[in-house]
Amino acid sequence: MPKSCGFHRMEERRVVIILVAKTSNQKLFYLTNQHSRQELHKIRTHEQFFCPTCQASVHLKIGEINIPHFAHKALSSCDQFSEPESSLHLHGKLLLHNFFKKLNHTVDLEKYLSGIRQRTDVFVNERYAIEFQCSPIPVSQLFQRSDGYKRLNVHPVWIKGLKEPLREEIGLVHLQAYEVAMFQQADHFSYLLLFHPPNNRFYYQSNLFYVSGNRWVGKTKSLQANQQIFPFALPNPLTRNEFKLVIGIFQNLKRQYIRSQLYAGRRIGNLFCRLCYELQVEVASVPAFFGIPLLGGDCMKEPAIIWQLQIAQAYEKGVGLETLVASGQVVLTHPEKFSQALEVMTDYLTFYTSIKNSEKTNANLLDNVYDIYCKTVRKLRK
């Protein structure tokens, strides 16, 4: 494993587990459930198997509990650029392989791409590399693998493996950095695709609004594999009633954030308190139009209430948005997010200037913010 992948490099060789091996006559032998365990026991008595990558001898393991698989007979330095195997990972790869086969796609299990020295989990139509990721992975390694596929004009599709089913709801979602890096883009509309092998079911976490840290608010919805299509079905936009739930969660989180700032100590050095003071806003009762959920807000590091207060402050002082971002006061997650940040901030500024002096009810507020959401979705999907 290269040093750049972010894991500690192990000098000793490691055990490598695979589902595809070569026979003594150089034919590929797949463990894709076409043989019973009894048949595999008979085959093992008269056949030798070898790793397709390093050509070393491998042993066909047929347990009563674990999925049959091949393992190198000795500790191996085989060029196996992937996560350590688990029964969940093996099971998921087999189910995904069968899923594509049933849809009559050309599919290869554990296809090794020598040009980039990477082995796909499932290779579809010689155009899609399906990566079924069941354990945390350094973001740098994830991007490295994706870039490798792209050099071959292969589209990487990352699917997060699930040990347990998810609750289907509009709610708070905790996402680690590597899971965010796994986001799929549907015409720039981001979502996380997941798969639960025990139930053979896909899950979507979509319509994701950034809160802070690893917290997002989004919609979790599932789809049974026999109802799935490929290219994969896309998540639907939120209805007005669903978006109302998002607004409600954001309001609760905003109240929690304000309480945390009130008891944080020195208000003079507190960014939130200072912004409220300069805008002549009561700290304990910040207007509802600050801290609203906007798609794309994840390009800003600070919570929505902070960067939205900063936009209002800049507007009142006659400072342009480009100047505000360039000053570094609004902190971006990455410099490449500059254009995205300007779009999101422009949408908010238009909303702010139209609503700040009007007597809007909560229903009007919901309609206005939902209208921004719908316009953003349409713009992203053009």
Are 339 and 319 within 8 A, CB to CB? Answer: no
Q: Is the domain of 296 the same as that of 328?
A: yes
For residue 328, the enclosing domain spans: 241-380
DSSP 283-341: GGG--TTSS---TTGGGBSS-HHHHHHHHHHHHHTT--HHHHHHTTSS-BS-GGGHHHH
Q: Is the domain of 158 the same as that of 295?
A: no
20-23/215-224 β-pairing: unpaired
pLDDT for the residue 79: 55
Report d(CA 337, CA 351) in Å as an integer: 21
The pLDDT profile of the chain, 382 residues, written as one tens digit per residue, is 343 333 333 333 445 677 877 788 877 777 877 788 888 888 888 888 888 778 788 888 887 657 788 887 665 566 554 445 677 888 899 899 999 999 999 999 989 998 999 989 999 999 999 999 999 999 999 999 999 999 999 999 999 999 999 999 999 999 999 999 999 987 558 999 999 999 999 999 999 999 999 999 999 999 999 999 999 999 999 999 999 999 999 999 999 999 999 887 666 679 999 999 999 999 989 999 999 999 999 999 999 999 999 999 999 999 999 999 999 999 999 999 999 999 999 999 999 998 887 755 566 889 999 999 999 988 876 5
Nearest to 380 by CA among 210, 185, 189: 189
- 3-class state of residue 124 by DSSP: strand
Report d(CA 374, CA 174) in Å as an integer: 24
pLDDT for the residue 74: 61
Radius of gyration (C-alpha) of the chain in whole angstroms: 25
Listed in sequence order, the residues at least 6 apart from 239 whose beta carbon sits closer than 8 Å to its beta carbon are none
b/e 337-363 (16+ beta carbons within 10 angstroms → b): beebbebbbebbbebbeebeeeebeee
Q: Is the domain of 308 the same as that of 229?
A: no
Q: At what angle do helices 271-278 and 240-262 cross, to 10 degrees?
A: 100
Q: Is the domain of 50 the same as that of 191?
A: no
Give the torsion sign (CA, 311, 315, 316, 318). positive
Q: Is the domain of 248 the same as that of 306?
A: yes
User: Which residue, of 58, 78, 98, is where some domain finishes?
Assistant: 78
pLDDT for the residue 73: 67
Q: Specify the DSSP class assigned to residue 187.
A: T
User: Which residue, of 33, 57, 78, is where some domain finishes?
Assistant: 78
Q: Is the domain of 201 the same as that of 282?
A: no
Q: Is the domain of 32 the same as that of 96?
A: no
Instruction: Fill in the amino acid letter for 374.
Output: C
User: Which residue, of 78, 113, 136, is where some domain finishes?
Assistant: 78
Q: Is the domain of 73 the same as that of 123?
A: no
Instruction: Fill in the amino acid letter for 147.
Output: D
Q: Is the domain of 343 the same as that of 313?
A: yes
Bridge partner list, 162: none
3-state helix, strand, coil in the chain (%, to 5): 40, 20, 40
Contacts 24+ apart (CB under 8 A), 172-177: 172/211, 172/215, 172/216, 172/217, 172/249, 172/253, 173/205, 173/208, 173/215, 173/216, 173/217, 173/218, 173/220, 174/214, 174/215, 174/216, 175/205, 175/208, 175/214, 175/216, 176/136, 176/214, 177/139, 177/214
Q: Is the domain of 218 the same as that of 98?
A: yes
Phi, psi of 343 (to 5 degrees): -65, -45
Range list of β-strands (E), the chain: 17-18, 20-23, 28-30, 49-50, 57-61, 69-72, 107-109, 112-113, 118-119, 122-124, 128-133, 155-161, 170-174, 184-186, 189-196, 201-212, 215-224
CB atoms within 10 A of CB 75: 11
Q: How many domains does the chain have?
A: 3
Q: Is the domain of 85 the same as that of 216?
A: yes
Bridge partner list, 129: 123, 156
Q: Is the domain of 320 the same as that of 232?
A: no
